[in-house]
Structure 1
Amino acid sequence: MRNLFACLALLCAAPLSAEKLALVGGTLIDGTLAAPIHDSVILVDGQRITAVGTVTTLPVPADARRISTEGMTVMPGLWDMHVHLMIDGHAVYSEWDKYLSLQRDVVMPASAKQLLMAGITGARDLGGPLDAAIAVKKAINEGRIPGPTLFVSGPFLQHKPYPGTEAYRWGVSSPEDGRAKVRRIAAAGVDVVKLIDVDEMAEPEIAAVVDEAHRLKLPVVAHAHRPEEIRLGLKHGVDDFEHTGLGAAPEYPADVMALLQERTGRSGALGPFFWTPTVSILNNYPDWIREHEFVDTVDWHEGLTPEMVADIRKSLTHPERIAYFQQVPARQPTLARKFDQLRKSGAVLLIGTDSGVPMNFHSNSTWQEIALWVNDFGVPPLEAIRAATYWPAVAMKADKDYGTVTEGKYADIIAVKGNAMANIALLQRVDLVMKHGEQVK
């Protein structure tokens, strides 16, 4: 009888036969440097892509379910390399923190679902309570809640946490303490280490954190708000800078650019150096003060409680008074020049948005970053798409499985009606979302 029960348990645990799918007819931008594939056919078996071709070169198996992508642009699922699942657009962080006890079960799952419904199938969550971040990542991986494949940092590491933020900001008091905290978050299962206010840390502490992270095969990302943060980060081996900083300064200093170009010039030995500029939030806010009808949409309500939605809406009653943005008008005119400097430096730029900060909802942040790059900063659409697909997968050492629509990779695929390469803003309304071979939208 015991053997019978064991056999039944194994049968119940065995996966169901994988569904075969065929996405047929759309123009495929596969995330590589290849030309668009018109009248494309993408075959999916279970979670993986098995073949890519055209209607004239790749027959659709009789047992595959056909999904028409006629008249659509098809591409890899997008990635957002700088999101904050723990916040959802509220203007005052200290008030939002009253929901800390609901992060794992409500707030972060809501944010994750909003991202997925917007076509974001991969995301890097940079800053949050450790236990909640790991639990949500695990729940998504196990298929218990919807969301993008997550790469998480857990808590910010810095010299001293801001008062009242100790749940998600950890202080580093010595090199030994820095190593111990890296080991602790690594053991919990983080994918990346996040440093902020590096210029307030002692150099031996910075060196210890980066060295311990690299010993444990974890990349290190750091804020780049001030010149000294950049100088110290480059000196001690940070892998990726976040944001376009330096306040209202018109451009990056010459010595900083020289250091950056020296690092990118050694990419053959050290690998690419990444930078996530998060420019759209700084660029768009002055316009949002005047035109903020988008706050009345409901897509950002998904998964949040009515009380949370009401709190967020109330906090955004007067956008012009949001303290978080008080220096943005002076910074906005400097963005194009700094972006151009970074692009010419040899750094690989990644799409990331600071999604979750005031007014920057998870449901509509990523497409705005891509659109700004293309429409205002002159980045070719294919380059912008690769910065949101291929290069993020490379940065997280996950390009064996993600980043392009090619044979063998997970079937993370989105599609929009129309020609997104001619009108990149079409990405604000993603019509089809497939993650790991499952059509979720």
Structure 2
Amino acid sequence: MDLLIFVARILPGDAGQRIDDGAVLVSDGRIVAAGHRDEVEPLAPPSAERVSFPTGTALPGLIDCHVHLAFDAGPDIAAAVAGENTALVLGMAARAQRLLDAGVTTVRDLGDRAGLAVRVRDAIAAGHLAGPRILAATVPLTIPGGHCWFLGGEVDGERSIRDAVRRNADAGADVIKIMVTGGHLTPTGPGMWDSQFGADEVRVAVEEAGRFGLPVAAHAHGTDGIAAAVAAGVTTIEHCTWLRDGGFDAPEDLVARIVDAGIYVCPAISRNWRGFAKRFGEDNAAELFDRLRWMDERGVRLAAGTDTGVPGAVFADPVGALEVFAHVGFAPERIIELATVDAAAALGLPDTGRLVPGNRADVLVVDGDPVAGLAALRDVRLVLAGGRPHVPTTAALRST
């Protein structure tokens, strides 16, 4: 199908780029052209469907580098994932559609039970379900009783780590997730800043994943865990909150090693970031959020992720999570870049994240200008995921 979209403006991808009175031509799931209307319209065949958004903006579909489709954003995640597989898959499929409703066209699912995200991924890819493209980690590796042990990924020792990586690869994983430190979702396990794996153990996971051509995402809140992940050569570090013994410690030399290694950091701060100060104190909240700007200033490659699915992090509001970057001084166009261009690079998707000829047709059309204010990203009018048009309903955008 050929589709020609007319908009008031196009944000092709990189911050600072803008085309007024624009048009995007899509054919067979790919972008044919994106530019000024007078240049693009003559390229469309007479049979092309034409849609117009006179006050709208076209930009690349949003990319969320850190979600959990198996989690329901409720207060008891462990109980939510303990149910029967079919019911859990149906819930995951519905949550995937909510993300698409909100303009998200690619997600990296960083941990489920029994590899169920692969089933949802394949159903969406086959056109049986509406949803974003999914990169699935399947079952994350953790220590016995460690962070998110209830997902079934407990390992102990080199042989166990290698076996778990192989099982995930055989299940169709796109990425391997390892819980290098503890986390707040598992209060009975190690603290958020406590290490669960040392550098040698993480290196085993990276080595085994490499045999299958898979990247490794390392959950690491603690500074020691961050150091272990960097030494082991992971692909991305999730959270990277620089905790040590309940405080903060961010050594400049370790930050420099992250930059030199080209490791992407996905802060994965959920839309509940405003409540962080109530839980952990104003000073701790300010320190955590300031680290985003601090890392960016030092050249750390950042990519947007929302941790959607954890308690209170509903699937209909990725923008609420992105607003933490605005809170610490990032310009809207830079935030959009983090959620498109930079996120695509972090996930190793060279044909995604920009509206350029030949790229996958992941297109988001919103009313208004998101460069003038991120709130415009909530007014979704049309989403194309791999060229498939999807029109969200107002009710869907308000749901959790």
What TM-score do the two structures reach when normalised by structure 2? 0.87
Instruction: Give the conservation status (yes or no) of the 8 Å contact 1:251–1:337.
Output: no
- Aligned residue for 1:151? 135
Find the residue that maps to 2:164 and give its secondary structure. Answer: helix
The 1:47–1:164 alpha-carbon spacing in structure 2 relative to 1, beyond 3 Å, is: closer
Q: How many Å apart are 1:345 and its aligned residue? A: 2.8
Change (3 A) 1:104 1:94: closer
Could you tell me whether the CA contact under 8 Å between 1:104 and 1:136 is conserved in 2?
no
Deviation at 1:247, TM superposition (A): 5.0
Q: Which residue among 327, 331, 334 is the counterpart of 1:380? A: 331
2:270/2:308 contact within 8 Å kept: no
Matches within 5 A, 1:81-230: 81-102=65-86, 104-162=88-146, 165-166=149-150, 168-198=151-181, 199-230=195-226
Letter in 2 for 1:63: S
How large is the RMSD of aligned CA atoms in angstroms? 2.3
Structure 1: which 5+ residue stretches go unaligned? 1-18, 267-271, 290-325
Contact 1:225 1:246 in 2 (8 A): yes
Q: Return the letter of the residue paired with 1:180.
A: D
The corresponding residue for 1:52 is 34
Tell me what 1:260 maps to. Answer: 255
- Answer yes or no: is 1:284 the counterpart of 2:279: no
Residues 170 and 250 of structure 1, relative CA distance in 2, 3 Å threshold: closer
Say if 2:65 and 2:347, in contact at 8 Å, map to a contact too.
no
CA distance in structure 2 between the partners assigned to 1:232 and 1:260 by the alignment = 13
Distance 1:95 1:173, change over 3 A: closer
1:302-381 aligned at under 5 Å gives the runs 326-327=279-280, 331-364=284-317, 366-374=318-326, 376-381=327-332
- Given candidates 331, 345, 358, the residue that maps to 1:408 is 358
Q: Note if contact 1:221-1:241 (Cα within 8 Å) is conserved in structure 2.
A: yes
- In structure 2, the residue matched to 1:22 is 4
- Helix, strand or coil at the partner of 2:333: helix
Question: Counting helix residues as a fraction of each chain, which structure ranks higher?
Answer: 1
Equivalenced residue count is 375
Which one has a bigger Cα radius of gyration? 1
Question: Identity of counterpart residues, as a percentage?
Answer: 28
Whether the 8 Å CA contact 1:88–1:356 is kept in 2: the answer is: yes
Q: CA deviation at 1:144?
A: 0.8
* SS of corresponding position for 1:71: strand
Partner of residue 14 from structure 2, selected from 23, 28, 32: 32
1:436 Cα shift? 1.7
Number of the residue aligned with 2:61: 77
Q: Structure 1 CA distance, aligned partners of 2:360 and 2:130?
A: 16
User: Residue 7 of structure 2 contacts residue 57 of structure 2 at CA under 8 Å; is this kept in 1?
Assistant: no
Residue 104 of structure 1 deviates from its aligned partner by 4.7
Higher strand share: 2
Q: Deviations over 1:303-353 (max 9, x none)?
A: xxxxxxxxxxxxxxxxxxxxxxx4476632222321122212322111111
Structure 1 partner of 2:344: 393
Q: Cα 1:23–1:399, aligned 2, differ >3 Å: closer, same or farther?
A: same
User: What amino acid sits opposite 2:273 in the alignment?
Assistant: N
Shift of 1:33: 4.9
